[in-house]
Structure 1
């Protein structure tokens, strides 16, 4: 993320997950600070899905883009799946686009995370 030509990261996080305390207030404060710092990088976009919006039933997933391909990746409790079929990748892309539309913009997301520290 800090190389001369860094990878780009476009991340969506569920507000409920951000509010779930793990490790106590000090640890959570450090995590929030890290998220804020990373979100200020030009190659990182962090958006928060507001609480109250129904998250997708698919759970967490990733779209991984290289020069040669796009792959959808999803972990489950017992395994991990890579989807390279065009229709599967397109389905995950549509879901990502829908979630982006419902998420707060990066500035409002950063403000929300900063507000969680109090």
Structure 2
């Protein structure tokens, strides 16, 4: 679905979204998940994730908007060096014209999207095809009913309104990246 959609909006609670992950961060997440056991399986998953990222930079890139909680920046994945590089990569990606990145700081308190991460996929010309994806350890859950999609659209709008503006978000990401420097 990701290959044919025109935009993705995502809210993430603890992990950098796959389309914004560095290879090292993605590898650390994959190893920690314990779902893939062999080095070959892990390598394959990382390669697939990196190939998927071409949707952000290739011909006719999709529009991508991510709201990340501050926990995504502070959950150290792969050690300080990997995490610092990952955060610097987020800043680089957020400077692309088709990518918007916002951070929802801990200080903003309770909000409607607090429960689980999700992705909203929008398709060209037919809003009735829009989908919501929530990922769980047991598998992915796709929602397509108009009322479900509308609910998640409202949740995302609330999250982005509660989050820091993009420029302030990048400043915060850069500050946290510096905390991982030796």
TM-score range, shorter chain: over 0.9
Look up the match of 1:116.
176
Match of 1:54 among 110, 114, 126: 110
Give TM-score scaled by structure 1 length: 0.93
Give the gaps of 5 or more residues in structure 1.
none
In the alignment, the residues of structure 2 paired with residue 22 and residue 57 of structure 1 have an alpha-carbon distance, to the nearest angstrom, of 21
Give me the whole-angstrom Cα distance separating, in 2, the residues matched to 1:54 and 1:21. 23
Shift of 1:46: 0.3
Q: 1:105–1:25: structure 2 CA closer, same or farther, 3 Å change rule?
A: same
Aligned position for 1:99 = 159
Q: Is the partner of 1:117 in helix, strand or coil?
A: helix
> Aligned-pair distance for 1:77?
2.7
Q: Residue 76 of structure 1: which of 136, 140, 143 is its match?
A: 136
1:33 aligned residue: 88
* Structure 1 residue 87 corresponds to structure 2 residue 143: no
Question: What does residue 13 of structure 1 align with?
Answer: 68
Shift of residue 7, structure 1, vs aligned partner: 0.6
How many angstroms does 1:74 deviate by? 0.6
Match of 2:13 in 1: none
Between Structure 1 and Structure 2, which shows a larger proportion of helix residues?
2
Structure 1 stretches of 4+ with a deviation exceeding 2 A read: 52-58
Q: Does residue 1:64 correspond to 2:139, yes or no?
A: no
Alpha-carbon distance in 2 for matches of 1:108, 1:57: 21
Count of residues paired in the alignment: 118
Provide structure 2 residue ranges, at least 5 long, that are not aligned to the other structure. Answer: 1-55
